[in-house]
Amino acid sequence: MPKEQIKVSEVKRTRQKSGTVVTVDEFLQLDRPKGDRILKVGREEVSVTSLDRIYWPDEKLTKFDLLSYYLKVADYIMPFLVDRPAILQRYPRGIKAPMFFQQDLESAPAFIKTARLTNQEGRQLDYGVYSTVGSLMHFVTLGTIEQHPWHSTVKRLDKPDYIAIDLDPKRAPWENVLQVALVVKEVADEIGLKAFPKTSGSSGIHIYVPLKPTNEYDKVAEFARLLASEVAQRAPKIATVERTIAKRKSTQVYVDWMQNARGKSLASVFTAREGAGVNAVDVEASRAGCEDSGLYDR
């Protein structure tokens, strides 16, 4: 694939709504707010709307609760989002209503950074880019519960700086997921790479392996395939790369390497999840490993 050239964005720039302006501290102290506010985050003013809309009916959690969560974890999540195109998984009416993915922004406030990219089908799309806490707040206001960044930054679009392995148990016991995760670590250790586990917010584990952004997506995806195959070969009773569920044994964990193609993503570290869970990771260890790999050398 030819090197991606960032083209001039065609996103229509919109004005923010007028209304009561509140700082982050004032916003977090609100008690069950209704309606809309203008949230001042640094130099940016973000229109946050329908704060009382129920997003999780069973837990009675609202859009305000979601925005508050992301404000509180912003220092932890932003290093894993900054400068990456965003695939917006939107639940504008909450998790009980239809969800849709949005990659092409038709309009956005002036402070939202965008990148006009060509997708796998050859279409030119205007992606939103995570750049500031304000940008994150805007995407969350659109109903983006989970944050799905690209594996690469806009500065090195064709060169991912990590691979991700998704350990999907389906019917396999949790103990097997843990054992397979240790096999992934074993293989990574042997080839001089660091691997970091992250709970998926569901039933599996995501394994992240930071890389220097020197290889293009096709080579990185092939490396991920070889790594997953080696894991399955070492632990065939509990690990497999077989995609068809019916062909897997009930004890086998699917070692999914296929989310490493260009434009693919997994839910970010510390992202909220559909089931009101959170993806968790040892952030200090993970950040140290990323720095060693050059991930933050941008």
What is the tens place of the pLDDT at every residue in 220-262?
999 999 999 999 999 999 999 999 999 999 999 999 999 999 9
| Residue 2 maps to a domain | no
194 and 272 in a single domain? The answer is yes
Rounded Cα gap, residues 51 and 55, in angstroms = 10
C-alpha triplet 166, 171, 175: angle, nearest 5°: 70
pLDDT beyond 90 at 282: no
24 and 117 in a single domain? The answer is yes
Rounded Cα gap, residues 25 and 71, in angstroms = 10
CA atoms within 13 A on the CB side of 61: 19
Q: What is the pLDDT of the chain when averaged over all its residues?
A: 89
| Residue 298 maps to a domain | no
The mean pLDDT value for 101-128 works out to 89
pLDDT beyond 90 at 5: no
DSSP H helices, 145-204, are: 174-190
41 and 144 in a single domain? The answer is yes
Final residue of a structural domain among 125, 153, 181: 153
Final residue of a structural domain among 100, 126, 153: 153
Structural domain for 68, as ranges: 12-153
128 and 195 in a single domain? The answer is no
72 and 191 in a single domain? The answer is no
Do residues 205 and 246 lie in contact, with contact meaning Cβ atoms separated by under 8 Å?
no
pLDDT band at 191 (very low <50, low <70, confident <90, very high): very high
Shortest CA distance to 271 belongs to which of 130, 96, 60? Answer: 130
Q: What is the pLDDT of residue 277?
A: 57
Q: What is the pLDDT of residue 83?
A: 97
223 and 279 in a single domain? The answer is yes
90 and 167 in a single domain? The answer is no
Alpha-carbon distances of 273 from 55, 93, 110, 145, 220, rounded to whole Å: 11, 15, 28, 6, 27
142 and 175 in a single domain? The answer is no
127 and 190 in a single domain? The answer is no
Q: What is the pLDDT of residue 122?
A: 78
Final residue of a structural domain among 153, 171, 191: 153
211 and 93 in a single domain? The answer is no
CATH number at residue 214: 3.30.70.3300
**Strand-strand pairing, 37-41 and 21-23:** parallel
The mean pLDDT value for 114-143 works out to 91
How many domains does the chain contain in total? 2
What is the tens place of the pLDDT at every residue in 7-62?
666 788 988 777 889 999 999 999 999 999 999 999 999 999 999 999 999 999 99
Q: What is the pLDDT of residue 75?
A: 96
| Residue 219 maps to a domain | yes
